[in-house]
Amino acid sequence: MSFVLGVVLFALAIGVSIALHEFGHLLTAKMFGMKATEYFIGFGPRLFSFRKGETEYGLKAIPAGGYVRIIGMTALEEVDPADQKRAFYNQKVWKRVVVLSAGSVMHFIIGVLVVYFMAISTGMPNLENKPIVGEVSQCVPATQDTKTGALAPCGPGDKAPALAAGLQKGDRILSVAGKDTPVYADVLKATRQASGPTPFVVDRDGQRLTLSIDVAPVQRRPLDAKQGDERLETVGAVGLANASTIAYGVGSAVGPTFEFTGLLFQNAWEGLKRLPEKVPVVVKAIFGDNNPERPVSVVGASIMGGDAVERGLWEVFLILLAMLNLFIGVFNLLPLLPLDGGHIAVNVYEKVRNTIRRMRGRPIGAPVDYTKLLPLTYVMIFLGGALMLLTITADVVNPLRLGGQ
């Protein structure tokens, strides 16, 4: 049941993102005085609509996007003489670019807000492996199974040294036995080398504390042990686990939010650059290959979102949602028709061309004839549609699942 809930929630979140994308176009168009006559989510037959002022708002049957109709999107469109001043093509170029890019900007805003919400709720992934206590164990078993690596269960009255010393979840470990610990690997190394009472300096809610932890000698497999290696060595242990996520306060979350969003932007751009070479991977996925680095459609992302909710991994759900919004935002700005980025490129080209012509004392040129760009537009629609169909097919017949389900 939780899996279905996750799929539905993710699909609804995508729908809201699409609606906000189109709302970005509508809001900026109205802000600049352009005339927008329609705002619809979906395509095909109209399910319902209502009119407010000069704009009709509604929902259509095929949930595959949406659109805003602004009169005079190109100079080839016939416009009522009474609306000429409000036509899109009669506005300044910078205003046109703002309107065209507003959809992608909305996706970027959504991505940032989702990451910020994650930072103050579930916490963001501890990608830098910062030494922040995620869990304090009840006990530290003296030995480890040499074959399975399993530890013995805690007995009555057993108490781990970290728990006895008062180490708490969320403490950031600054040093162990006088050795600085910028990452958790440093904590692990210093702890394994220690024995008996050892000073652990921690940061707890901005307060610097020194805890004396009686490091216990235990029998553990070496860190470099390979499969089949049954050696044990005596090392120090205190009974703590590093945090996989880091939660922030309302104010302290701002910096990490933009830092993590920047990382997601970079991943989105890298994924976009590698998209053409991933087409064969998608084709192979249809026939059973399960490459985890293959592109996924909104269907595949929704399935993974369902898996995340089923496992209680809400931070993964939010990362998927943020990543999808950033990817769509970047993709939509590519200078290719019929994407918004293609229309931006045409408008910027006209501006640059006309500026050069004026500098040469020549009259401005005629508007770009979109009919001459139709063959290229049709090619891009065909390629984009084919890729979408392939990824959806792969996600239906052989979906990627979290945890290899």
- Count of helices and strands (H, E) across the chain: 10, 11
Identify whether the C-beta of residue 65 lies closer than 8 Å to the C-beta of residue 40: no
Bridge partners (DSSP) listed for residue 246:
124
Q: Amino acid identity, residue 199?
A: P
Contacts of 13 (CB under 8 A, 6+ apart): 321
DSSP sequence for 89-128: GGS-HHHHHHHHHHHHHHHHHHHHHHHHHHHHTT-EE-TT
DSSP sequence for 62-75: EEEEEEEEETTSST
Give phi and psi for 333, each to the nearest 5.
Answer: -95, 0
Contacts of 147 (CB under 8 A, 6+ apart): 230
Residue 300 CA to residue 310 CA, distance in Å, equals 15
Contacts of 308 (CB under 8 A, 6+ apart): 6, 314, 316, 317, 320, 402
Instruction: Identify whether 350 is a catalytic site residue.
Output: no
Helix %, strand %, coil % for the chain, to 5? 50, 20, 30
Identify whether the C-beta of residue 312 lies closer than 8 Å to the C-beta of residue 306: no
Structure tokens at 382: 């065909």
SS3 call for 36: strand
Identify whether the C-beta of residue 363 lies closer than 8 Å to the C-beta of residue 357: yes
Contacts of 287 (CB under 8 A, 6+ apart): none
Identify whether the C-beta of residue 54 lies closer than 8 Å to the C-beta of residue 131: no
**Which one of 22, 310, 315, 350 is the catalytic residue?**
22
Residues involved in catalysis: 22
